[in-house]
Amino acid sequence: MTNLQLFLQIITWSFLLYLHLRMIKISQVNELKSDVLNQVSDLSSWFERQSERVGDDFIYLEQIYSNKLTSIELLAKQLNSVSRSNLAKIDCFVALRLIDIEPKSKYFLKGPHFDGVERSINIASMDLVDSINTAYFEVFSKPNFLFRLFHERLIEIKALIFSGVLLLVYFNLFLLWKNAL
């Protein structure tokens, strides 16, 4: 095997490794995005089930609603971390947090108040789903290839440069060793 063949094999393996890692990352982003979107979309029906189960204990209902939003926010932060972009803007969760669950009066224990809360949760969650889908499209379908390459793939570019430098050092040492014999 000549040096050129070995060099081409290493370059080909590096390129295939890069493609493999990129596809793994995209599949992780898609899986996390799907999880976040499913949880946000099902938030209204989840709230309806919990309000029927809990009954008149509004403080407990507000606590479990807050805990559910916190778990969705953590999943959204994980999505942002894996995608290395701001797909799920945490500011969009503010609208869901500002929904007042406790009724203003004892007359609204069941009925119209909860319909309004569920409608508000549904509207805010659909806005969040829309913003996540729009951000995903913007990040992964941008026409500006160079900007996306340098902005999102900086670690891979550094790894390719480092591996190229290592290959050059290896071949120079190999040639020096071969010439010394």
Q: Could you list the residue range(s) of the whole structural domain that residue 54 is in?
A: 31-141
Residue 148 or 88, more confident: 88
| Overall pTM surpassing 0.75 (yes/no) | no
Q: Of the ranges 16-30, 40-54, 148-162, which one carries the lowest mean pLDDT score? A: 148-162
- The number of folded domains in the chain is 1
In a domain, 147, yes or no: no
In a domain, 69, yes or no: yes
Task: Please name which of 171, 181, 169, 179 lies closest in space to residue 2, comparing C-alpha atoms.
Answer: 171
Instruction: For residue 153, give both structure tokens.
Output: 């793939």
pLDDT at 44: 85
| Angle, in degrees to the nearest 10, between helices 3-41 and 58-83 | 160
In a domain, 179, yes or no: no
Structural contact between residues 33 and 87, judged by C-beta atoms closer than 8 angstroms? yes
Q: Of the ranges 57-61, 136-140, 171-175, 177-181, which one carries the lowest mean pLDDT score? A: 177-181
Mean pLDDT estimate for the chain:
80
Taking only the tens place, the pLDDT of each residue in 86-135 is 888 888 888 888 887 766 444 444 544 456 778 888 888 899 999 998 88
In a domain, 16, yes or no: no
pLDDT at 103: 61
In a domain, 43, yes or no: yes
Taking only the tens place, the pLDDT of each residue in 50-88 is 888 887 777 888 899 899 999 999 999 999 988 888 888
CB-based contacts of 68: which residues, under 8 Å, 6+ apart?
43, 46
In a domain, 1, yes or no: no
In a domain, 149, yes or no: no
In a domain, 55, yes or no: yes
